[in-house]
């Protein structure tokens, strides 16, 4: 067993996106992480469903769409139709998290709930039975290249323990500041997927970085 790797295109070269996507796919990444930011829920603005639609035919990787937007239920249908496989919604961004997750599942897509560093696991306990993935933000969302917050490890441990005791089957994903050291710690705590942006794409040899993430998390 190793951690699954989800490179974030936030750190890729947008003018050579197809090349950067194929590079990580060939290196064994299982998912492609697409950070959608609305300039409201988070300060940055990134991309919309057109990007998902453009990416769908160029890769077989799972398209993992992380909606960092206010009232994400307004956009779930559009991203599902664009070709997302997993759609993630923040519990902090909607008054109706249960309905938003139902909406995702209604499209036959995998449903993900996301919590910010300041949000406790208790805020999502009542929906854990209906999700395919829980994303624990390991930085405050909005920007790539931040430092991993080690206090989030306790939440990963708590989720792993709930998953075991309640017999659930969701993935536990980390996002923010993932590198070989922090991914190894998160894997030990129970994380099963690492989103990695700047670690994979910022310097030379993304393929070697992915291999390294797998190496440090091999049981």
Residues belonging to the active site: 35, 175
Phi and psi dihedrals of 163, rounded to 5?
-60, -45
In this complex, which beta carbon is closest to ligand 5RP, that of residue 79 or of residue 199? 199
Q: Is 205 left (phi over 0), alpha (psi -120 to 50) or beta?
A: left
144 labeled part of a ligand binding site: yes
Shortest reach from residue 106's CB to ligand 5RP, in Å: 25
Min dist CB 203 to ligand 5RP, Å, is 12
145 is in an annotated binding site: yes
Distance from C-alpha of 170 to C-alpha of 20, rounded to nearest angstrom = 28
Closer residue to ligand 5RP (CB): 92 or 162: 92
Query: Known binder of ligand: residue 88?
Result: no
Separation of alpha carbons 128 and 160, rounded Å: 11
Q: Does residue 143 have a known ligand-binding role?
A: yes
Phi-psi region of 165 (alpha: psi -120 to 50; beta: other; left: phi over 0): alpha
Residue 48 is assigned to a ligand binding site: no
- 107 annotated ligand binder: no
Nearer residue to ligand 5RP within complex by CB, 98 or 147: 147
Q: Select 106 or 205, whichever has its Cβ closest to ligand 5RP.
A: 205
Please state the closest distance from residue 96 (CB atom) to ligand 5RP, in A. Answer: 22
Q: How many CA atoms lie within 13 A of 206 on its CB side?
A: 25
Q: Residue 151's CB: how many other CB atoms inside 10 A?
A: 9
Rule CB under 6 A: which residues touch ligand 5RP?
Answer: 8, 10-11, 33, 35, 66, 139, 141-146, 175-178, 195-199
Question: What is the closest distance, in whole angstroms, from the C-beta atom of residue 42 to ligand 5RP in the complex?
Answer: 6
Tell me how far apart the alpha carbons of residues 69 and 182 are, in angstroms, rounded to a whole number. Answer: 26
- Whether 12 and 21 have beta carbons less than 8 Å apart is answered as yes
Name the nearest CA neighbour of 97 among 133, 62, 131, 46. Answer: 131
Please enumerate in sequence order all residues whose Cβ is within 8 A of that of 188, keeping only pairs 6 or more positions apart, or say none.
none
Cβ 149 to ligand 5RP shortest distance, Å: 11
User: Among all residues, whose Cβ is closest to ligand 5RP?
Assistant: 197
List, as residue ranges, the binding site for a divalent metal cation: 33, 35, 66, 175
Annotated binding site for substrate: 8, 66, 142-145, 175-177, 197-198
Binding-site residue numbers are 8, 33, 35, 66, 142-145, 175-177, 197-198
């Amino acid at each position: 067993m190793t951690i699954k790797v989800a490179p974030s295109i936030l750190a890729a070269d947008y003018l050579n996106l197809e090349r950067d996507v194929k590079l990580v796919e060939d290196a064994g990444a299982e998912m492609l992480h697409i950070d959608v930011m609305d300039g409201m829920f988070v300060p940055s603005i990134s991309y919309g469903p057109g990007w998902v639609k453009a990416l769908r035919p160029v890769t077989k990787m799972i398209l993992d769409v992380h909606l960092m937007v206010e009232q994400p239920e307004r956009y779930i249908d559009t991203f599902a139709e664009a070709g997302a496989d997993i759609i993630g919604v923040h519990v902090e961004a909607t008054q109706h998290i249960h309905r938003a997750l139902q909406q995702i599942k209604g499209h036959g897509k995998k449903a993900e709930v996301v919590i910010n560093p300041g949000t406790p696991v208790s805020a999502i306990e009542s929906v854990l039975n209906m999700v395919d993935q829980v994303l624990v933000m390991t930085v405050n969302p909005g920007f790539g290249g931040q430092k991993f917050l080690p206090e989030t490890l306790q939440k990963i441990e708590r989720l792993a323990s709930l998953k075991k005791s309640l017999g659930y089957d969701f993935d536990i994903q980390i996002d923010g500041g993932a590198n070989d050291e922090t991914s190894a710690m998160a894997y030990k705590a129970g994380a099963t997927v690492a989103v990695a942006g700047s670690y994979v794409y910022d310097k030379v040899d993304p393929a070697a970085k992915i291999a390294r993430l797998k190496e440090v998390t091999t049981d």
